[in-house]
Amino acid sequence: MEDKTALVTGAASGIGAAVARALGERGASVAAVDRDAAALQRTTAKLAVEGIRVVPIEADVRSANEAQTAVASAEDQLGPLDYLVNAAGVLRLAPAVQLTDEQWEESMAVNAAGVFTMSRAVAQRMVPRAQGSIVTVASNAAGTARADMAAYSASKAAAVMFTKCMGLELAAHGIRCNIVAPGSTDTPMLRSMWDEATGAQATLDGDPDAYRVGIPLRRLGSPEDVADAALFLLSSEAAHITMHTLTVDGGATLGV
């Protein structure tokens, strides 16, 4: 990935930060996008100290105008984009009948509409160049029902199908669009779901009362596990792969 350029959303922490680091370690220049300006500055400062060429760009993916501005800024500073990774996401937990309008709307705005705004902005520039690779970080919950996760699961399912439809349309231009579907990954988002008394062990064991199996591999995923999968799909090693979902969940969805 030497001399390639990439834009990563949700890059201030978690999976997005791991993807940004992994790209930079392999020689890519990275535009790191996030709406949390303070966290983004801390993350990109660490990456820069490690010798990674990274530029922070504050933007809210929910805004089509900010998405367009972020992409223009990335290309102005780094050159034409070769890669996009949609890693920005939010988790709003509640039973479906108790979800508020705000929880539903924010889930859809960030997890689904954010993929649309950023992918459209980048793809519009990739099409004339007839090259590029896009990866959306979704979730295994996009294809497996989860209690209290209706908004999250629905928004991620929308992101998956948008990415696949876009991949079909852009295939003629040599642009590949794929999905990484993580399971339980050791990030601040996952930890926000834990009960202090059980924590990681409950995630590993599963919850039969909630119709949720555990993790057969008996360990949580790491952000780096997901980043490695994303980089594979971005790379020339996946040159004949598009519209594919690569699940990275330690077997939690039993291969379905």
Domain spans, the chain: 5-248
Whether the predicted pLDDT of 17 surpasses 90: yes
Place 146 in a pLDDT band, splitting at 50, 70 and 90. Answer: very high
Contact (CB, 8 A) for 12 and 39: yes
pLDDT in tens, 41-79: 999 999 999 999 999 999 999 999 999 999 999 999 999
pLDDT in tens, 150-169: 999 999 999 999 999 999 99
Return mean pLDDT, the chain: 95
Region 243-253: mean pLDDT is: 96
Catalytic residue among 19, 22, 31, 152: 152
CB atoms < 10 A from the CB of 157, how many? 17
Q: What is the pTM of this model?
A: 0.95
Identify the pLDDT of residue 202. Answer: 82
pLDDT in tens, 178-228: 999 999 888 877 777 766 656 788 888 888 988 989 999 999 999 999 999
Which two structure tokens, joined as six digits, stand for 210? 């909630």
Region 115-137: mean pLDDT is: 98
Contact (CB, 8 A) for 160 and 179: yes
Least confident of 24-38, 121-135, 174-188: 174-188
> For the domain with range 5-248, which CATH number is right: 3.90.550.10, 3.40.50.720, 3.90.1170.30, 3.40.50.1360?
3.40.50.720
Spatial neighbors of 34 by CB under 8 A, at least 6 apart, are 9, 10, 11, 12, 13, 16, 40, 56, 58, 59, 88
Q: Which amino acid is at 95?
A: P
CA nearest 184: which of 196, 197, 201, 198?
201
Identify the pLDDT of residue 195. Answer: 67
User: Positive or negative, the Cα torsion across 144, 10, 227, 166?
Assistant: positive
211 a catalytic residue: no
Helix (H, G, I), strand (E, B) or coil at 251: coil
* E strand segments, the chain: 5-9, 29-34, 54-58, 83-86, 132-137, 175-182, 206-207, 212-213, 245-248
Identify the pLDDT of residue 197. Answer: 55
